[in-house]
Amino acid sequence: MNADDPSHRTEPVPERDPDPAPMVLSWRQAMDRLASARVGRLVFTERGLPAVRVVRYRVRGGTVRLDLDDGAGLTMALREAPAYDGVVALHADGLGEPPGGGWEVTAVGVVRTVETGGGGTAVLIDVRHVTGHRITFRPAGPPCPPSPSPPARTAAGARPERGPRGHLRAL
């Protein structure tokens, strides 16, 4: 009898979860990962509609400073943000860090603009809430089946009629 043979073990063998749930990051872990990315997606309201822009940024403590070089476009949109409660979100990720996994972080806060010396404007986000997760990717499964062909045209050249819910009617 070999003591290393798994069939002779008496203690339970822990099973490995093939699809572990994403690990929730603490505030500090999430902010540290946010600071490490330096590029993220800013989600804000522009003229009453949701908008997303890729931005460079820096994190210091609980404040994010946006590095905007687009002229006045985004800065002007963010100056209007207080009219929409000034709430914005910044999302960043590190996919493939480590291989087969990664992380994602979303910080939500209130945006403010601050005049700097020389007539410039700094855009700051005071982070009020942050969520982050470590992600583990499963190997990709088989590819999706191809999409069905579009419906054939009738003899008159028109496509078959569709019902009230968009389904094709029988010919």
The rounded distance, in Å, linking the Cα atoms of 56 and 67 is 5
Contact of 133 with 122, CB cutoff 8 Å: no
Q: Would residue 9 count as lying in a domain?
A: no
Q: Does pTM surpass 0.85? A: no
pLDDT higher than threshold 80 for residue 115: no
Domain count, the chain: 1
Q: Would residue 13 count as lying in a domain?
A: no
pLDDT of residue 46: 80
* Plot region of 18 (φ>0 → left; ψ -120 to 50 → alpha; else → beta): alpha
The rounded distance, in Å, linking the Cα atoms of 169 and 171 is 6
Contact of 112 with 85, CB cutoff 8 Å: no
pLDDT of residue 7: 47
Q: Would residue 167 count as lying in a domain?
A: no
Amino acid at 165: R
H or E element that contains 27: helix 27-37
pLDDT confidence band for 19 (50 / 70 / 90):
very low
pLDDT of residue 14: 41
Q: Which residues pair with 132 in a beta bridge?
A: 105
Q: Would residue 83 count as lying in a domain?
A: yes
Range of the domain at 71: 20-136
Task: Work out the number of other CB atoms within 10 angstroms of the CB of residue 38.
Answer: 13
pLDDT higher than threshold 50 for residue 107: yes
Indicate which CATH number applies to the domain containing 54.
2.30.110.10
pLDDT of residue 155: 62
* pLDDT digit string, tens, across residues 64-85: 998 776 555 677 677 665 555 6
Q: Would residue 67 count as lying in a domain?
A: yes
Q: Would residue 64 count as lying in a domain?
A: yes
Tell me the average pLDDT of the chain.
77
Question: Of 27-36, 96-105, 157-166, which one has max mean pLDDT?
Answer: 27-36
Q: Would residue 165 count as lying in a domain?
A: no
Q: Would residue 100 count as lying in a domain?
A: yes
